[in-house]
Amino acid sequence: MMHVHLIYVGEFSANYFAGAQSEYEKRLSGFAKVVSHPIKESPLPEKPAGGAIALALEKEATQILDVLGKLSACYKMSLCIEGRELSSLGLAQLMEDLPHQGYSSVAFAIGSSYGLSDRVVSACDRQLSFSKMTFPHQLMRVILTEQIYRAFSINAGRAYHK
């Protein structure tokens, strides 16, 4: 059974996000072992200057890279707007191919509302974008988990994907 590692910065601030996330993790558990790695968000003032943002991203990067460094045989993906978009079928194909390429797990890194440090992005095997639009990072976690579940459903021939 594949391990799916969700590395994310910050916690949910709304119960509806947590409820949706929990539902997709429960559905996904039939296909993979989901492991969450919450990273503490670096505090910033309401209107931070550019230097403060970069410093916060670097602090978060150190924690994310620590988690990534402990994962063996793991394909690592960072979610970033500069990444390459995949269709749901494309993600399903990628997930199906990973074990054949020697990977027993996959990790997805989601940054804070300010994104990810370049160090994290470059440490990953792939940069994945879900759209040229910007989504709230808490909602992105739910969307990502739903798409991972959809990918496994597609690969299992289930009717969930329409």
User: Which DSSP string do the residues of 80-144 spell out, in sequence order?
Assistant: EEEEEE--HHHHHHHHHHGGGGT-SEEEEEE-BTTB--HHHHHHSSEEEES-SS---HHHHHHHH
- Looking at residue 120, what is its pLDDT? 98
Entry pTM: 0.95
CA distance linking residue 48 with residue 39, whole number of Å = 20
- Looking at residue 115, what is its pLDDT? 94
- Give every residue of the chain whose pLDDT is below 50, as ranges: none
- Looking at residue 27, what is its pLDDT? 96
- Looking at residue 35, what is its pLDDT? 97
Tokens linked to 33: 């072992």
The fourth-level CATH superfamily of domain 2-155 is: SPOUT methyltransferase, trefoil knot domain (3.40.1280.10)
Domain boundaries, the chain: 2-155
